[in-house]
């Protein structure tokens, strides 16, 4: 009888301990409620891949042109039938990369896996008379464009087109539609091909990302003319 009571007491203790752990996890890592962008327009989002055949990527493992992923937020005319974009398109990949680059345990980011943004993928763009102002930004190194989702949605809901450039090997991680991944590496960044010092490597890295900006602007102008 005492043995049975002991087993029951142990089971209750384990159950209470698990409940306490779950409660602590919910407290420490709550479900994130995405803030409303607050503007008059719904927000659309397109993910575009571009290839600059005039430049080679100095960090790629094989000789290849410089490829980019570009996130475009814009005022949407209609979002019916379009699904909301997750905050992270490939949550495990981005979370693990962020944790690695910032030297933090990945578990503290796990609650972000299910967060949905207010951006509707491939939504029909709203035609604004006179055109919409365009903002182009870089997340910096080794940050990633999704960290600026709220900023982009805030502007897009107020009539702006916002373009975020994902710099391969500059951002924590960039994933292309074919599954190819380009990861940031501090060692790689400090040993920029052709640089004879860390300072020279930084300068060349900035030139590489500046070239990404110029290429995206040229592509936008070509699209507008076309």
pLDDT score, position 226: 63
Question: In this model, does residue 10 exceed pLDDT 50?
Answer: no
Which region among 93-97, 157-161, 198-202 has the lowest average model confidence (pLDDT)? 198-202
- Which has more pLDDT, 150 or 114? 150
pLDDT-based confidence at residue 66 (cuts at 50, 70, 90): very high
Q: Average pLDDT in the 11-22 region?
A: 40
pLDDT-based confidence at residue 141 (cuts at 50, 70, 90): confident
Question: In this model, does residue 22 exceed pLDDT 50?
Answer: no
Which region among 24-33, 64-73, 115-124 has the lowest average model confidence (pLDDT)? 24-33
pLDDT tens readout for residues 162-187: 999 999 999 989 999 999 999 988 77
Tokens of 213: 């900006």
Residue 120: strand, helix, or coil? strand
**Phi-psi category of residue 59: left, alpha or beta, with phi > 0 → left and psi -120 to 50 → alpha:** alpha
pLDDT tens readout for residues 83-129: 999 998 888 888 888 788 778 888 878 878 888 999 999 999 999 99
Query: Selecting from 3.40.50.1110, 1.10.3720.10, 3.40.50.1820, 3.90.1150.10, what CATH number does the domain 35-225 have?
Result: 3.40.50.1820
Contacts of 217 (CB under 8 A, 6+ apart): 136
pLDDT tens readout for residues 43-58: 999 999 999 999 999 9
pLDDT-based confidence at residue 76 (cuts at 50, 70, 90): very high
Output the average pLDDT for the chain: 84
141 closest CA partner among 162, 165, 163: 165
- Going from N- to C-terminal start, the domains of the chain cover 1-30, 35-225
User: How far is Cα 56 from Cα 62, in angstroms, rounded to an integer?
Assistant: 10
Assess contact for 195 and 204: CB atoms under 8 A.
yes
pLDDT-based confidence at residue 140 (cuts at 50, 70, 90): confident
Would you list the DSSP string of 50-115?
Answer: EEEEEEE-TTSSSS-EEEEEEEEEEEEEE-TTPPEEESSTTHHHHHHHHHHHTT--GGGGGGGTT-
pLDDT score, position 30: 56
């Amino acid at each position: 009888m005492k043995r049975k009571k002991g087993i029951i007491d142990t089971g209750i203790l384990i159950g209470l301990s698990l409940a306490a752990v779950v409660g602590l996890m919910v407290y420490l890592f709550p479900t994130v409620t995405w803030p409303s962008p607050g503007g008059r327009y719904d927000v659309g989002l397109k993910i575009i891949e571009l290839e600059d055949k005039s430049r080679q990527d100095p960090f790629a493992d094989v000789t290849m042109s410089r490829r980019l992923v570009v996130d475009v937020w814009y005022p949407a005319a209609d979002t019916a039938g379009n699904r909301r974009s997750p905050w992270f398109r490939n949550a495990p990949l981005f979370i693990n990369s962020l944790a690695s680059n910032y030297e933090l345990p990945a578990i503290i980011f796990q609650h972000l896996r299910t967060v949905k943004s207010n951006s509707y993928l491939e939504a029909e763009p709203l035609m604004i008379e006179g055109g919409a102002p365009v903002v182009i930004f870089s997340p910096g190194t080794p940050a990633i464009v999704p960290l600026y989702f709220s900023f982009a949605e805030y502007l897009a809901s107020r009539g702006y087109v916002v373009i975020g450039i994902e710099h391969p090997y500059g951002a924590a991680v960039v994933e292309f539609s074919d599954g190819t991944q380009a990861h940031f590496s501090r060692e790689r960044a400090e040993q920029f091909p052709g640089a004879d010092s860390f300072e020279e490597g930084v300068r060349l890295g900035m030139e590489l990302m500046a070239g990404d900006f110029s290429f995206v602007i040229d592509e936008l102008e070509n699209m507008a003319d076309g």
